[in-house]
Structure 1
Amino acid sequence: MGHCDSGIIPPARQYTVHSILEVEVLEYQKQNEKKLPPVGLSAAVIAISAFVIGFSVLKLKVDAHIPILIAAIISALCGMLFLGKKWDDLQEGMLNGISLALLPIVILMMVGVVVGVWIQSGTVPALIYYGLKILSPKVFLVAALLSCSVVSLATGSSWTTAGTIGVALMGIGSGLGIPAPITAGVIVSGAYFGDKMSPLSDTTNLAPAVAGGELFDHIRAMLWTTLPTYLIVIAVYTFMSMKFHGQTVDAQAVETIRTTLASQFNLNLMTLLPPVLVILLAAKKFPAIPGLILGTLAGVIVAVVYQGASAADLITAAHYGYESSTGVEAVDKLLTRGGLDHMMWTISLIICALSFGGIMERCGYLESLLNALSKIINNVTGLITTTIFSSLFGNLFLGDQFLGIVVPGRMFKPAFDRLNLAPRMLSRTLEDCGTLTSPLIPWTACGGYMSAMLGVNAFSYAPYAVLNWLNPIVAIALTFFGIGIFYKKD
């Protein structure tokens, strides 16, 4: 969902590509009917909010929930004191912000259930078991990148990718001695490459809709920035793998993991049915919630038939997650996860972030700054660079990937028109940063989801999610050198 890109199966969220545009058009009209806040006030509120969140998370090492709520309170107070906003208006903004994530929240809950059931069914253990047999440290990073890229291209969803093969790859990487943040970063890079480039992705459809362009013109334009980045990423991961070339895998430890898995679960090809079913349904654009239900039911059937699981076992795994007690620490750490309860931390973070984003949006702080910037930019490089950073700030302060695309898109579209740039330039730029940086921020839905699925904090895996932070840099560099720039006459 790149929203992230949606849930495990994003196509069901595609209704929001149109509905969110309708909401944003109405909001844009409201903003035009009233005066935006002064630039100085907007800058001050954003700076204070950034300090509160950044200092708390980075310096105090606390979770982002309460700092985000403090920033929301500050933003709301400034809106009421200096802009004359009524609480009911701000509350409506909060509720509108939260409403953007209602389906992703339900999907997050369902994904927790799915993972717990899939471990109980032997699905995740089977993927780890066979993966440890096939892969080695020297090829693991590139193999993980390519496999995640293929799945996300086929499904259009980074969330599907992370929730299926991503979970298994984390286990395989651990068994091979690869640090978890590195494995998670590679998974995120591959998942978001396909998510960004697939015509099935909701953000890939949203960006050209915002810019007023065509879908496949947009995808072709993205190749100019994304393909070079992807090739560099492959080279980087190949280079990183060199440190593992000489690393002797503890064959006994790997064999202990595989033997333990085989002794605890009945591992066969049928245990792989649930993820195959989910991926096929996603590729066919099957609705998200029914798709997850079918994936869960497939896991339940496999668990009962092949693992002898009882109803109590399955309900417990679905609610609280699977708890492994094999006595082998490495295996227990890999398999103790999933469950509905496991997702509550992430869901509460998303609600806090979108409440904050709703207040910021309703007060117009970010729009005020973007509007001022759009009027003074008079060259292509400056416009592309500013749009990229605006998408990043949108993800940071609005808490939602869709808003990180829509808000800068609507504010900078006149500037792109003024410079006679083709719509695909705007849509490409929105995706180069808006889509790709969202999983690097812990309090966005994407960052929260990836952290929950992969078991690694977003700030920890971000340095290794090379595609996600390198693509915006490549986009700016290519623009500076006049490469891949399209005008309306082209």
Structure 2
Amino acid sequence: MKRQPTFLESISTIIVMVIIVITGFVVFDIPIQALLILSSAYAALIARRVGLKWQDLEEGITKRLSTAMPAIFIILAVGIIVGTWMYSGTVPALIYYGLEFLNPNIFLVSAFIICAVTSVATGTAWGSASTAGIALMAIATQLHITPGMAAGAIIAGAVFGDKMSPLSDTTNLAALVTKVNIFSHIRAMVWTTVPASIVGLIVWYFAGRQFGGNTNTSQVNELLKELSQIYNINIFVWIPLIVIIICLLMKMSTVPAMLISALSAIIVGAVNNGFKIVDGFKATFDGFNKDMVITNSGTLTNKAISLIEQGGIMSMTEIVVTIFCGYAFAGIVEKTGCLDVILQKISKNINTVGQLVLATVLGGLMMVLAAGVASVVIIMVGVLMMDMYNKMGLDRSNLSRTLEDSGTMIIPLIPWGTSGIYYTQQLGVTVDQFFIWTVPCYLCVLFALFYGFTGIGIKKAEINE
């Protein structure tokens, strides 16, 4: 017969998961998905202790995963739209004009804006940093700008765009976990992300005034030349962007709007760029690649290749697998009753909105340090804290926002995390060099706490929710 787990049994599932992730991910570099499955195995042992059978756990996992399916559809659609927008030239055009109008006199501010626009367009901070970011670092060297300072503005811009883009996997995941409309989630994040970014822009503006002189923009010119050779950058490349905006303004559901935009992108790529239309459909699955390019210049540089080879459904498989693994753990813990026991214990010590936001932030930071992966933070802390926000009569967008403030924004600052390692390798700087200059990354947490304790920017739940 099933019994309620004790608090020690309940909290042990979380503690063991943290230990497994820290040891496996940080020390042995084991993929996070395998560690989540191992954590699920321990949670299953606790479930067995309280009298549950495997069939009960399957039911719990399936129930939890069923709530993820709408956002998984969106995530897969994101892969399709990125691949087709690369095919049509929509994303490259955004990057092209961003780099073309770079102002050396306000380099740090320009670097933030360019990387923000790029990652909003692609939905990926990594793609922004490895394309426009690398070119900007080369320019910074010519301007004699401190590498860490330049990298800080670049990374902050990349993460800003990733966080605020409806194409981002973490943005969709946070909305999914908290059961919030993605655009409501993005609007909520404006409260913390925009003020933090404004402070960052002020810091970068005054810090950058000490640097001057001319710059050799050969790196940028080379990339611009290649983009203009690959794509016919004109007014038609904006059609897919216009299509999705019109669809969303007409209140069309997100996935159909994305698919219609993707179809228009395939047409634009074939007619405007002269690409094979078959390759447009292939780009929906495997993404756009250099073999689809028609150019008279022969071979492409690695920078151009890393820029255009993005998207496709298969590019989203890792985040989807992570969702399945994370929700397997969450489903077992929830079915066992561990979450209820933990929440009852926590709720006795949380009486205000400020305390609730603080608990969310601390939980997020703990998971960031343990996992170094934003998706795990969003899934675990989101599932654990959601009922608390419901009970306090708060709109869940407050939770989704705080999950990204303490997860997505902090990830680049963790040296052993995937993002920290990636940026270090791509930009040639260490975390301790760029940490202080990624101003919005750590200010978002402070703004989240400020709003929590003052009540400013805290949205109440709708009565009929």
The answer to whether TM tops 0.5 is yes
Q: Given the alignment, which residue of 430, 453, 457 partners 2:399?
A: 430
Displacement of 1:268 after TM fit?
Answer: 0.9
Q: Given the alignment, which residue of 268, 272, 276 partners 1:302?
A: 268
| Partner SS state of residue 86, structure 2 | helix
Q: Cα distance 1:371–1:391, how it changes in 2: closer, same or farther (>3 A)?
A: farther
Q: Given the alignment, which residue of 296, 299, 303 partners 1:330?
A: 303
Q: Distance in 1 between matches of 2:228 and 2:353?
A: 58
Q: Cα distance 1:376–1:346, how it changes in 2: closer, same or farther (>3 A)?
A: closer
Whether 1:96 aligns to 2:63 is yes
- Alignment match, 2:385: 408
Whether 1:343 aligns to 2:313 is no
| Matched residue type, 2:64 | G
- Alignment match, 1:473: 446
- Alignment match, 1:140: 110
Q: Distance in 1 between matches of 2:124 and 2:361?
A: 30
Whether 1:177 aligns to 2:137 is yes
- Alignment match, 1:48: 16
Whether 1:287 aligns to 2:253 is yes
1:308-327 equivalences in 2 (<5 Å): 308-324=274-290, 326-327=299-300
Alignment check: 8 A CA contact 1:109 1:343 kept = yes
Alignment check: 8 A CA contact 1:282 1:291 kept = yes
1:355-394 equivalences in 2 (<5 Å): 355-377=328-350, 382-390=355-363
- Alignment match, 2:79: 112
Displacement of 1:315 after TM fit?
Answer: 2.9
| Matched residue type, 1:172 | A
TM-score normalised by structure 1 residue count: 0.68
Aligned residue pairs: how many?
412
Cα distance per residue 1:18-39 (max 9 Å; x no partner): xxxxxxxxxxxxxxxx864211
Whether 1:251 aligns to 2:217 is yes
Q: Cα distance 1:336–1:241, how it changes in 2: closer, same or farther (>3 A)?
A: farther
Whether 1:131 aligns to 2:98 is yes
Alignment check: 8 A CA contact 2:196 2:447 kept = yes
Cα distance per residue 1:107-140 (max 9 Å; x no partner): 2222222222222222222222222111243332
1:10-49 equivalences in 2 (<5 Å): 36-49=4-17
Displacement of 1:49 after TM fit?
Answer: 0.8
| Matched residue type, 2:30 | V
Displacement of 1:92 after TM fit?
Answer: 1.2
- Alignment match, 1:163: 123
Alignment check: 8 A CA contact 1:189 1:465 kept = no
Identity of matched residues, % = 24
Displacement of 1:379 after TM fit?
Answer: 7.0
Q: Given the alignment, which residue of 139, 147, 159 partners 1:188?
A: 159
Q: Given the alignment, which residue of 58, 69, 75 partners 2:37?
A: 69
Displacement of 1:272 after TM fit?
Answer: 1.9
TM-score normalised by structure 2 residue count: 0.71
- Alignment match, 2:408: 439
Displacement of 1:412 after TM fit?
Answer: 6.3
- Alignment match, 2:143: none
| Partner SS state of residue 57, structure 2 | helix
Q: Distance in 1 between matches of 2:159 and 2:75?
A: 17
Q: Cα distance 1:46–1:231, how it changes in 2: closer, same or farther (>3 A)?
A: same
Q: Distance in 2 between matches of 1:318 and 1:437?
A: 32
**Structure 1 gap segments, 5+ residues each:** 1-33, 149-158, 196-200, 210-214, 417-422
Cα distance per residue 1:238-274 (max 9 Å; x no partner): 467679x559654122111111221222221211221
Q: Distance in 1 between matches of 2:70 and 2:341?
A: 30
Alignment check: 8 A CA contact 1:391 1:434 kept = yes
Displacement of 1:84 after TM fit?
Answer: 1.2
Q: Given the alignment, which residue of 234, 240, 245 partners 1:274?
A: 240
- Alignment match, 2:463: none
Alignment check: 8 A CA contact 2:60 2:334 kept = yes
| Partner SS state of residue 52, structure 2 | coil
| Matched residue type, 2:133 | G
Q: Distance in 2 between matches of 1:227 and 1:125?
A: 25
Cα distance per residue 1:39-69 (max 9 Å; x no partner): 1112222111111112222222232111111
Q: Distance in 1 between matches of 2:404 and 2:252?
A: 22
Q: Cα distance 1:390–1:283, how it changes in 2: closer, same or farther (>3 A)?
A: farther
Alignment check: 8 A CA contact 1:370 1:390 kept = no
Displacement of 1:348 after TM fit?
Answer: 1.5
**Structure 2 gap segments, 5+ residues each:** 139-149, 167-171, 292-298, 412-416, 461-465
